[in-house]
Amino acid sequence: MKLDANKILKKDTEGLQDFSAMEKESFVDVSLVMERQPIALSFGTYDYKGNSYPVPFGSYGDFSCIVGASKSMKTFLKSALIAGYIGGQAQNYFPDAKGHGTEGKLILDIDTEQSLFHTQKVARRVCEMVGSNYDLYRPYALRDKDAKTRFQFLEWLIMESDYKNDIGLVTVDGSADLLENVNDLETSNAIVQGFMKWTKLANCHLITVLHRNHGSMKPTGHLGSAILKKAETVAFVERKDNAVSVTPEYTRNFPFKEFSFRLNNNFLPEQDETFF
């Protein structure tokens, strides 16, 4: 059967918006001097021409990802990064983690996997590292919700709630629970598109957590592949005995130095350079 090109073209263009405004908004003027995206969270510093600069872990308007095997202490790293973003006494545990432009900014910490008890335990860990219950830190437990509802709640929380103009950092532990099947290509792409849209329009940074495939360092499914391609920073976590190594496997920025951490006597994560 011969395809009717005119019919296909008509069908594809029906209902399209006027793209003239988008053309102006999306045009990249190469003659402009453009500053980089503001850093949300840095990890360490680097020297350039006699000056010291923070190494970006994540920028406002972008998202990053932590990847590791089950029980590799990914969530402990997430807690440390949140605490570092907030500040307070967190520098005593992770001296290299530092938040930027955080004044008045909310931190939304989403857990999709753990029970209410364990989610609260993780949230209390953040507060203990900071040294107080931080008013702008808001943890949520979504284990009992279905995948579609979790995604819709995130969309509402970031784009429509009373918090929408004051969000600095969002964490999603883990994003695989935002869809029924991590190998669903269409839904995986929609979730990553959501991450890119939310972070740009809300001008926040989002850190998500993913499991890696068994016997491989790559994150799980089509969702993992899509996140790997689009994320600003992908940090790989690997547990070795009592220590955890963190490697900047992929980054669009100057890479932070590989580091490690252990749990101290109070079961709080502490940066530990003696591992290397």
Residue 1 is predicted with a pLDDT of 46
C-alpha dihedral sign at 185, 187, 190, 195: negative
Are 44 and 91 contacting, i.e. CB atoms less than 8 angstroms apart?
A: no
Q: How many CA atoms lie within 13 A of 15 on its CB side?
A: 2
- For 75-120, how does the pLDDT look when each residue is reduced to its tens digit (9 = 90+)? 999 999 999 999 999 999 999 999 999 999 999 999 999 999 999 9
Cα maximum dimension of the chain: 73
Residue 219 is predicted with a pLDDT of 84
Beta strands per DSSP E along 32-141:
39-48, 51-59, 62-68, 97-99, 106-111, 137-141
CA distance 183 to 196: 20
CA distance 254 to 206: 19
Cβ-based neighbours of 98, under 8 Å, separated by 6 or more: 41, 42, 43, 54, 84, 85, 87, 91
- In the chain, domain spans: 39-264
Is the omega angle on the peptide bond into residue 174 within 30 degrees of 0, that is, cis? yes
Residue 4 is predicted with a pLDDT of 53
Pick the CATH number of 39-264 from 3.40.50.10490, 2.40.50.140, 3.30.413.10, 3.40.50.300: 3.40.50.300
DSSP 235: E
Mean pLDDT by 10 residues, the chain (276 residues): 49 65 87 86 93 95 95 96 98 97 98 96 98 97 96 97 97 95 94 97 97 78 93 94 92 93 96 73
- For 232-263, how does the pLDDT look when each residue is reduced to its tens digit (9 = 90+)? 999 999 998 889 999 998 999 999 999 999 99
What is the token pair recorded at 263?
């749990």
CA distance 261 to 242: 9
User: Side chain identity at 236, as an amino acid letter?
Assistant: F
- The partner residues of 68 in beta bridges, in order of sequence, read 211, 237
Identify which of 261, 234, 266 has the alpha carbon closest to the alpha carbon of residue 73: 261
What burial class does residue 266 get, using C-beta atoms within 10 Å of its C-beta: 0-12 exposed, 13-18 middle, 19+ buried?
exposed
- State pTM to two decimals: 0.89
Q: What is the distance in angstroms between the CA of the first residue and the CA of the last residue of the chain? A: 65
Identify which of 118, 122, 22 has the alpha carbon closest to the alpha carbon of residue 77: 122
Identify which of 98, 101, 118, 119 has the alpha carbon closest to the alpha carbon of residue 109: 119
Cβ-based neighbours of 239, under 8 Å, separated by 6 or more: 68, 69, 71, 72, 73
